[in-house]
Amino acid sequence: MTSNDDRVPENRYESPRAWRDVDDYFSRALVPEDDALVAARESGARTTMPNAEVAANQGALLGLITRISGARRVLEFGTLAGYSTIWFARAVGPEGRVVTLELEEDNARVARENLDRAGVSSQVSVVVGPAADSAATLIAQGEPPFDLVFIDADKPSNPIYLDAALRLTGTGAVIIIDNVVRNGAVTATDSDDPRVRGVQAVTQAIAAHPELDATALQTVGVKGWDGLIVARRR
Ligand code: SAM
């Protein structure tokens, strides 16, 4: 990132007007949120991490990837208010299943309200506790394989979550990791930010894994400058 480039924000959560306008243009045209999604987004203000849910067009992308891949079972690390969870639950359909892992009971309570309002509660299990422990329990219980895993919790733990995802998926599974660009900080090899280091470590782990095909995309928009990794298990 160049400091004299006035199109690029210094702060991860800053978002130039043009980026927001383009997101608004496409979201209004292609991704109309219904009342349940609007309520879920707005209720983020009652969680421990306001404004940390994916943008509407990103939620729609997650739903489309779920449908395109034919995923019926989704595992999510990081529920917050259940905004992305609703997109997954609608995409897997009434016969599908979403297990979403959340640290904070208060956030889980807000999420359950939103899942109820969206009419998808019967397809979703919200599991409260540290996601590494919850995932270990799923592994120990012999949980059937998931078709898609979305990693969007605490970023320093990304490598742990990837490892758990690999234990909980089989051939053809899709793994998506959010917030991997971090306003460009991902390229700072000397970064002492544990979130950046978590992204770098998981990127290296994916690169070294013989069964994973992957790419990463930068995104700009209402959530600033960030991006996601999409991987598929051979
Ligand atoms: N996926 C959500 C969405 O797009 O609507 C946003 C998730 S938000 C970025 C991250 C969530 O991970 C927060 O709700 C936070 O409480 C949760 N979290 C943080 N550390 C965690 C941990 N160790 N185990 C489980 N959840 C954790």
Each residue's pLDDT tens digit, 18-40: 999 999 999 999 998 999 999 99
CA of 181 to the centre of ligand 1 (A): 17
Nearest Cα residue to atom 4 of ligand 1 = 53
User: ∠ CA 21-59-116 to the nearest 5 degrees?
Assistant: 125
- Tens digits of residue pLDDT in 166-215: 999 999 999 999 999 999 999 999 999 999 999 999 999 999 999 999 99
Residue of 104, 113, 126 with the most ligand 1 atoms within 8 Å of its CB, for mutation: 104
DSSP 145: P
pLDDT at 140 over 70: yes
CA of 3 to the centre of ligand 1 (A): 31
Atom of ligand 1 nearest to the CA of 83: 5
- Residue 6 has a pLDDT of 47
Contacts of 19 (CB under 8 A, 6+ apart): 220, 221, 222, 224
Task: Name the percent of the chain lying above pLDDT 90.
Answer: 93
- Residue 8 has a pLDDT of 54
CA of 154 to the centre of ligand 1 (A): 6
CA of 80 to the centre of ligand 1 (A): 5
Does the predicted TM-score (pTM) go above 0.85? yes
Contacts of 41 (CB under 8 A, 6+ apart): 33, 53, 56, 81, 83
Atom of ligand 1 nearest to the CA of 54: 4
Nearest Cα residue to atom 18 of ligand 1 = 153
Nearest Cα residue to atom 9 of ligand 1 = 52
3-state secondary structure of 232: strand
What's the rounded Cα separation, in Å, for the pair 233 and 18? Answer: 36
Q: Which of 7-21, 96-110, 191-205 has the lowest mean pLDDT?
A: 7-21
Domain 11-233, CATH 3.40.50.150 — does that match? yes
Exposed e or buried b per residue across 89-117, where buried means at least 16 C-beta atoms within 10 angstroms of its C-beta: bbbbeeebbbbbbbbbeebbebbbbbbeb
Spell out which residues line ligand 1, taking CB within 6 angstroms. 48-49, 52-54, 78-80, 83-84, 101-104, 107, 130-131, 152-154, 157
